[in-house]
Each structure stands twice: as structure tokens, then as C-alpha cells.
Structure 1
């Protein structure tokens, strides 16, 4: 059982930012409060009855954003069920095959629910079971991740979750806001991550509509990240990195190439920005995970049917990395707040 106090998390993962308000499902504050009260009542009843739950957590890789989402998820369920919920946390070390092994192990163990943190973990869990409830988090686009041609916001079956998708048109706007004279932007991403491909395709479309040449630079894994990143830095005015797990786990490599070359990096989320970027439109991954945990509580108590639960989203916040901005001599536009160091 994985135990981390909320206090220690907040100290260690301050990079994950302030709380973000949920938007995708709409509704007034009073209806949200009523829903939360009902969920707490159902969970309290289950806890009072002594019902115990085992939740399997498959996290693709350890980095600030995914760690924060897992912590939020655990905190939400612990707040509802206390010691009556046990977490089997397993880290796949950024390997899709290991995700499959972990997911199959959860099925064999008969866990009550699987939380899949990041797209490859979700794909592995869906392939492993069509009966155990699966909630994804830190997944950008569920239609792309699961190969759904008619995705309308609800996956159906035994899958739902939360998305970390930031408005990609606004990501493109951010780049031109900071660098209005930029003519060439490199889009750096891992080709093994389907949701990264989706993001760079969209950002490329939006940038080209603004008259900016956007070129994709794909690397297969961390072994060729440095060489591809160097090429992107050499050939462009700036680099954009989406919410890519391999990039997030290797921000030091990107920063070590782009900052000395005076090429600003714009990031899809705060964890990457804190490691190598100048600016981002970022969600709070802790809040994203916490929302996923609240969804899990409803599923476990029978309050909600996972097959009808829509995927949920969060707002974004404009953030900048003061240290890197100062090093590059960049002027921060209005409306951005500094990432806490």
C-alpha cells in the first residue's frame, strides 16, 4: 500500500500548480456541491459498512505531472474510504509491454478498479479486461488513445476518466504571443505516444494558419531524444513540446540543448515547463487525479455507472519559468504567473 501524506506531496510537487476548476461537465456550483455531498454520503455509508476496496494503479513512468495525478487520485479515495481502500501502485518504467503485464496482473488479482495513469497504461488496461472498471487520467484524447471513430465524450463499456488536454489553438496563440517575429517552430515529441502525435498535428495546423512554418521532430525513445532535439533547436526559432511523457521524464536533456542555443521551449504542461520551458498553458495534475478519484468513489459505491460517465476536463492556467526567461532575456506578457520553484 502506497502512503504519501498530502503535506509531503504539496512540498515535493509544487510544480504542478494551483487548483483548476472543472469545466467539461458544466453545471452550477450548487449542483456540484449537491453531487459532492451525495457522493460523500454514499462513500461514508460504504466505509461504515466496512466494505473494503483494492485499487490497482498503473503509472506509465515517474515524473512530476503523473506523480501528482496519482497522489490526487489516492488522496480523493482515502478521503472517502479511509483505511478501507488499498492501493496497489506499480510503475511501468515508460514501457508499454510492462503496462500490459501490470494490467494483466491486476485482472488476475481481481482488483475492484484500475486507475491507468497515461495513455499506454489506459490502452493496456482496456486490452486486459472488459469487466473491471477502468479510469484513465493524464490521457489527452480518449478517441485517439482507444481508436474510437465516434468518440463523443463518453467512452462507454468499462472505461472513463479525465483528460489533460489543453486547448491546442491557445497553445499556438501562446507561442506567437511570446514570439511574434518567429517564423519557424519545431514540434518535438515521442513517436511512440499517440496522443503526442495528435497534439503536434493540431498545433502545427494552428501555427501554419498564422503563417508560421511548423515542423515535426519525432524521436522513438529517450536514446535519440538528444540528437532530434539538437536538430529542432538548430533549424527553428523556438521549440514546442506537448504533454509528452518521454519529454517530461527527460527535461534536462531538452534544457541542456535549447537554453544554451537561446531557443525558447514552449510546453504543454507545467512539469515540462519547469524543467526546460519558458511558458505553458497548464492544468493542475493533482486536481485532475483528485477528480478521477472522486469518479472512482462513485463507481465503487454503485452511485454511478461507468459506462455512462463522460470524460472530464479542467481549466488551464498561464504559467512561465522565471529562471529560464531571465536567462534568455525574454519579456513576460501580461496574465502569466511564475511557476513556484
Structure 2
């Protein structure tokens, strides 16, 4: 009887402490880790990021933030490595993760995802900042579920809406050039997919592809000289070279519409973009469901970012005399 009373007293004291902490501010409750479901386990997660730039950095941060908030900093450890844009380095990194027998691998960028699923058929692999999983996984019958140890999130904003936005901003343009890196399969996918939308809008369309960072400037100059406006899809190599592209486009007085916010800040006038932080957090939620709730990754559908936003760079739009309609959010150039 005394033991029961003691237990009840402890429980009452714990409840009182919880109420006291709750009264200190709303943020305490929202950031509280769900330690009860970890059973003391420490989850080890390998993160292979293809290259360092704003979009991919934000996705990685969102992923880590979500899991740290849910599990607690003591219950999740991240081995975060950057491949500096090299596919072979992605393979080396992911093979190290497999040798370490990590609980889950995040592939941030298409080449990173491809390296991860080549390295292991067993460890759960989530991708983020991936445009098209059918292309990335070489699955012609892609239906949104891989059927293997791979799932994740896509960063593709609707291409028909991107084409409509370009038409909204440049109704009198004649020639649209699409600039992308030929080494990135997802960039070619975007170019091929958006081209019919541009043609339906009445534009003449031509694609300009560069092999790597070494020929960005030369290809961008040709594209600018032959186009009234350029479109750059979500492309990691382009995102890492926006300074070069911006110099060329500014000299040629050719405006650029970008497929995502980071490229737009670097060299564009407008974008229809997702939040890569939100994308990373969505991927973190998927990781939590796999690791803690035991969801079967082979049956998990690839998820998209919850929101897209029309954004513009005011100074650049003013320079080109672009009249921006209502419904756009101003962002700052880098």
C-alpha cells in the first residue's frame, strides 16, 4: 500500500513539473523530443550531399532539424559528408556508410541517391532534392513507389506552372533558351518535359547543355545571345555556378527564370519554388516513420514539398523593365 502511494506521489509530481514547463512558453512543447519511442536506441544516419549550395544545404538542415527535434540530440547521430559535385566521391562515401552499418542513408541530390542504392539493397535509403525518381532509378514504369529500399522526396515544382509563369512575365518574348548540365539526368528530364509547355505558349525553344563547370560560361553566352529569355531548371551544377551565369546574362541583357529559389537568387529574375527546408523536414518525417514506427520503405510513396511560391528579385526585374503581377513574393539576390 505504501509502495502504491509512493508511485502515485511520484506520478503527481511529474505531472506538476510538466504543467510548470508548459507554462514557460509554447515553444517548449513543440520542440520536445519523442524520446519515449526510441527505447534508448541511438540512430546512426549517413548523409551524402552531392554538392554545397543553398538549396541542398537547406534540405540537409531541415532533415537533421526534424529528426533532432523528434528524437533528441542524444538519440540520433549524423555522419554528414559532401561529395563536392563528384559522383565517384558519392560512391566512396556511401560505401563507407554501408561498411559502418548505419541505420539509414540520406542521398541529397540524384548522384548521391544513385550511389547509395548501388551500395546497398538492405539499408533504408531516402533521397531528397531529387527531381524525378523514375529517371534517377532508371525505372520506365515509375508509379511513385520503388518497391525496394528507396523512397524520399522530390523537389520538382509543377513544370506547366513554371512555363505559365514565364509566359506571364514575358508575353512578348519569341525565343526561350533552356540552360542545363548534360551530366544531370534530371535536368534533361525537366528540359524535355517543359519544352512542349513553352511551345504551346507560342515560343520557339532551344536547349543549351554544358558538360560541367568548365564550359558553363561559353554555353551560357551562346544561349543568351540566341534567346530573349532563359529558363534554368533545378540543376546542381548551375546552382554552383550562378555567379558565372549571372555575369554572362547581365552583359547580354538576357533575363533568367529559374526552377528554384537558390538559382534565382544567384542569377534569376523570378522562380516558382519550393522550400528546401520544408522538403528536408518532410524527408526527416519519412525517416522517423521508418526508424521508429517501422514503416516499410518498399511501400512508401515518394513525397513532394507541401507548397510552391512565385518569387521575384525586384532589382533585376526593374532593370529589365519587367512588370510583376500580384501574387509574387519578393526575395533578395545573393
CA distance in 1: counterparts of 2:332 and 2:241, whole angstroms? 20
CA distance in 2: counterparts of 1:132 and 1:276, whole angstroms? 39
| 2:107 match: secondary structure | strand
Indicate conservation of the 8 Å contact 1:139/1:163, yes or no: yes
| 1:187 match: secondary structure | strand
Q: Which moved more, 1:96-105 or 1:301-310?
A: 301-310
1:56 aligns with 2:46: yes
CA distance in 2: counterparts of 1:323 and 1:115, whole angstroms? 37
Q: Which moved more, 1:87-96 or 1:329-338?
A: 329-338
Q: Which moved more, 1:74-83 or 1:298-307?
A: 298-307
**Aligned partner (choices 198, 208, 219) of residue 228 of structure 1:** 219
Number of the residue aligned with 1:182 = 173
Q: Matches of residues 29-108 of structure 1 in structure 2 within 5 Å?
A: 43-47=34-38, 49-82=39-72, 83-108=74-99
**Aligned partner (choices 237, 247, 256) of residue 246 of structure 1:** 237
Number of the residue aligned with 2:195 = 204
**Aligned partner (choices 308, 314, 331) of residue 322 of structure 1:** 314
Q: Output the TM-score relative to the length of structure 1.
A: 0.86
| 1:334 match: secondary structure | coil
Indicate conservation of the 8 Å contact 1:135/1:292, yes or no: yes
Indicate conservation of the 8 Å contact 1:187/1:215, yes or no: yes
| 2:303 match: secondary structure | coil
Structure 1 stretches of 4+ with a deviation exceeding 4 A read: none
CA distance in 1: counterparts of 2:48 and 2:147, whole angstroms? 21
Number of the residue aligned with 1:283 = 274
Indicate conservation of the 8 Å contact 1:57/1:88, yes or no: yes
| 1:226 match: secondary structure | helix
Indicate conservation of the 8 Å contact 1:259/1:324, yes or no: no
| 1:121 match: secondary structure | helix
1:333 aligns with 2:325: yes
Number of the residue aligned with 1:215 = 206
CA distance in 2: counterparts of 1:110 and 1:210, whole angstroms? 51
Q: Deviations over 1:271-304 (max 9, x none)?
A: 1001100010000000000010011011111431
CA distance in 1: counterparts of 2:256 and 2:209, whole angstroms? 16
Shift of 1:44: 3.0
- Aligned length, in residue pairs: 301
CA distance in 2: counterparts of 1:168 and 1:111, whole angstroms? 36
Indicate conservation of the 8 Å contact 1:188/1:241, yes or no: yes
Of the two, which has the highest radius of gyration? Answer: 2
| 2:289 match: secondary structure | helix
- What are the ranges of 5 or more consecutive residues in structure 1 without an aligned counterpart? 1-39
Q: Deviations over 1:238-296 (max 9, x none)?
A: 10000000000111011101122221100000010011000100000000000100110
CA distance in 2: counterparts of 1:281 and 1:190, whole angstroms? 20
CA distance in 2: counterparts of 1:175 and 1:214, whole angstroms? 13
Shift of 1:340: 4.3
1:114 aligns with 2:91: no
CA distance in 2: counterparts of 1:171 and 1:254, whole angstroms? 20
1:137 aligns with 2:128: yes
CA distance in 2: counterparts of 1:178 and 1:286, whole angstroms? 27
Q: Output the TM-score relative to the length of structure 2.
A: 0.88
| 2:180 match: secondary structure | strand
